[in-house]
Amino acid sequence: MTKLSVNINKVATIRNARGGNTPDVLKFAQDCERFGAQGITVHPRPDERHIRYADALAIKPLIGVEYNIEGNPKGISKSKPYGFIDLVKEIRPAQVTLVPDAEGVLTSNAGWDTVKNQGYLCDVVKEFKACGIRVSIFIDANPQMIEMAAKTGTDRVELYTESYASRYAAGREAAIAPFVEAAKVARDCGLGLNAGHDLSLENLAYFHQQIPWCDEVSIGHALISDALYLGIEETIHRYLDCLK
């Protein structure tokens, strides 16, 4: 079964808008697990505009499900004397997802160029795997980039699904086609497969039907938005239903 990892960045965004501790990000992570989520994802950025480095540290001992930390390994926190790599190595989550987002971007908007960054990614993957952390590389649905990702020693790739989501309404068969091809390439390369970005209750079930061997989906913005109407427990149940 494809696992559901809930990205809780948006909960931290709401908290940070007013200061204080409402909503309680740590309790929210625990509640997501209690309601059936099989993973928790955070994506701390250097400006800490949503998840803070301190949040990432505090969540680890509170949850029993898989913990996935996303981010650019080149990132340096503005409030802590260390960077993303130091943070991940201290926490030692189940998985780290390497994302090439530039400082200041609104959201992740591209996968890695695994040809251009081959040497760098090899070094980073090796460093994290030496700590017993599973590594996933955020990547576009591009067979060449996936094949080159496999050469870094990574355990998995995460398909950047924004183009699937944006094209879904116009024709889901055409929208999913490059992702099915990419997923097959990943499987042939011996890589595990994750997916994320703009997956929602509208498009998730079809994605899963077409790529049932996907190991994990990481969903934040749409899921938290749905929870404003449905409540977080009902929302998680509906997303899990899409993955049955």
Alpha carbon dihedral 90, 67, 99, 138, in 10-degree steps, equals 140
Distances (CA, A) of 11 to 23, 25, 50: 7, 6, 8
Beta-carbon contacts of 123 under 8 Å, excluding residues fewer than 6 positions away, are: none
Active site residue 43: yes
Strands (E), the chain: 3-7, 39-42, 66-71, 95-98, 134-139, 156-160, 192-196, 216-219
Prior bond to 178 cis, omega within 30?
no
Active site residue 221: no
C-alpha 164/C-alpha 220 separation (Å) is 16
Question: Which is the catalytic residue, given 70, 158, 162, 216?
Answer: 70
Dihedral sign of CA atoms 157, 196, 181, 142 in order: negative
C-alpha 64/C-alpha 48 separation (Å) is 25
Question: Which is the catalytic residue, given 50, 162, 197, 208?
Answer: 197
C-alpha 153/C-alpha 114 separation (Å) is 12
Q: Which helix (H) or strand (E) holds 141?
A: none
Active site residue 197: yes
Both tokens assigned to 232: 């977080």
- The residue count of the chain comes to 244
Q: Using DSSP bridges, classify how beta strands 66-71 and 192-196 pair: parallel, antiparallel or unpaired.
A: unpaired
CB-side neighbour CA atoms (13 Å) of 84: 25
Question: Which is the catalytic residue, given 43, 48, 66, 208?
Answer: 43
Active site residues: 43, 70, 197
